[in-house]
Amino acid sequence: MTHDQTVSVGEDQRRGQVRDRYRTIATRNGTPPAASTSSGCCGAGASGSCCGDQAISIQLGYSAEELASLPDGANLGLGCGNPTALLSLNPGDRVVDLGSGAGIDCFLAARKVGAQGRVIGVDMTPEMIAKARENARQGGYANVEFRLGEIEHLPVADASVDVVVSNCVINLAPEKGPVYREAFRVLRPGGRFVVSDVVATRPITQQEREDPALWSSCSSGALEAEQVERLLRSAGFEQVDIDLPGPPAAPSSLGGPAALGVVSAYIRAIKPT
């Protein structure tokens, strides 16, 4: 197996499995498919269905004020942290959100960058794009746009943004190397990569990686921290920092990410000037 964690499931098949899950979530207004709620959708801290649960969103780092400011339906509870809380965004900054879902992090970033700034959300699921665009319309977010596309092939110009964020999405990509290279490409020199994602703390078996339910619920697609750092540095990033929580819980009697030793982490890196 390569350091990109290529598995025998084809890339198109893998993307299709993920797209199907998130299409269902979008059209059910945040409710995950019944068969997969036990896997969780908010990373290692989740147990059972977490989608749209404000208490869990607060545990993940969102404030009650932030959540109250959002359009209805923007918070589907699909993250594993709050990457916008780590950022000192400036008025006029341009931001790209990889796998933007219904738009929660785009809308929070938009408040910080102001009317002179711009936030672009990219998602590969048409139903999520439609939902996010409607949320933007309802909330009057003139400085936010949503583009249909894959995070391995961003519909964004070279060196055109100041910040790349993402929330529990990169683990879903069949290969992570192209995602990091695309993030590097679209960032301006000195641009920041600030991501919340799940990271594996112990090896994940080939069988677990090929389980579509485990992969598409943000579990078995996770890489170990040293693999993530190696891929980021290979893409050209510097000052890579991966902030892991304490030791993972024992796997006995746990489901979803925790059973695999997968934990939420904040990942930061800089494109050199």
The per-residue pLDDT for range 107-131, each reduced to its tens digit, is 999 999 999 999 999 999 999 999 9
Residues 11-68: pLDDT tens digits? 889 899 999 999 999 998 655 554 443 333 443 333 333 445 678 888 889 999 999 9
Tell me the two tokens of residue 185.
């490409």
Can you name the residues that pair with 263 across neighbouring β-strands?
199
| Domain 11-270 CATH class label | alpha beta
Q: How many CA atoms lie within 13 A of 96 on its CB side?
A: 29
Residue type, 208: E
The pTM assigned to this predicted structure is 0.87
Q: Which H helix or E strand runs over 147?
A: strand 144-148
Beta strands in 221-260 (DSSP E): 238-243
Q: Residue 24 and residue 138: Cα distance in Å, rounded?
A: 22
User: How far is residue 13's CA from residue 154's CA, in Å, rounded to a whole number?
Assistant: 20
What's the pLDDT at 60? 87
Q: Torsion-angle region of residue 272: left (phi > 0), alpha (psi -120 to 50) or beta?
A: beta
